[in-house]
Amino acid sequence: MIFWTIQTEGAWRQLNESGILVGSEKFISDQTFLPSYRWMRREMETKLFQSSSPNAFPIWAWRQWENAQKKHPDLRMKGHLPAGTKGIRIEFECEKNEVLLSDFELWHYVLNNWFLARSEKEREAFDLSPNNDGIQKSWKRIFDLDWSTPDYAAPKNQKSIQGTLWQLRMETVKRFDPFTAR
């Protein structure tokens, strides 16, 4: 499977020097997202395998940046990195069993600690008796890429699909494109 990840020049240097890039908590720019990243880490340990590095955090990549027709990130767009930051878009190949795919739009339910309902009826029922266990169980729906509903989830060919992996190895890199973030 082909993926693209956006990394800083420093991460690119590390990948070139050591041949491997492992995600780290210190690179999480917004610490308010740390609980969500930890949740994703636990899901990766359950659905994939445990990282050989005990402090590893997910590396994010794109399988479909905007939809099935626009798979790789458009470097002319804002938001990949802070404005003015030198970055690298890295295209790489990854085995299916090394990456956990999820719906990027639905990932925002995890980031914001929201309940991800299957329907408005389920949302209303939850609102009457909310519980944290129900919220976290609902987040597992982000991994069902075939799920779509007019209220919450787009059809698979229209989804932005992200992948998380434990490490990026230099031998899997197919192409790299330097850019300056806008």
* In-domain check, residue 176: yes
* In-domain check, residue 143: no
- Enter the tokens of residue 158: 């229209």
* In-domain check, residue 119: no
* In-domain check, residue 132: no
Gyration radius of the chain over CA positions: 17
pTM: 0.94
Nearest Cα neighbor of 76 from 68, 67, 87 is: 87
* In-domain check, residue 113: no
Strand, helix or coil at 22?
strand
Q: What is the extent of the structural domain holding 25?
A: 2-103+155-180
Q: 32-64 pLDDT, tens per residue?
A: 999 999 999 999 999 998 888 888 999 999 999
Please count the structural domains in the chain.
1
Please state which of the ranges 11-15, 26-30, 92-96, 99-103 shows the lowest mean pLDDT. 26-30
Residue 71: the pLDDT is 96
d(CA 65, CA 167): 20
CATH number of 54's domain:
3.20.170
Q: 91-116 pLDDT, tens per residue?
A: 999 999 999 999 999 999 999 999 99
* In-domain check, residue 130: no
* In-domain check, residue 138: no
* In-domain check, residue 112: no
d(CA 130, CA 174): 46
- Enter the tokens of residue 159: 């989804």
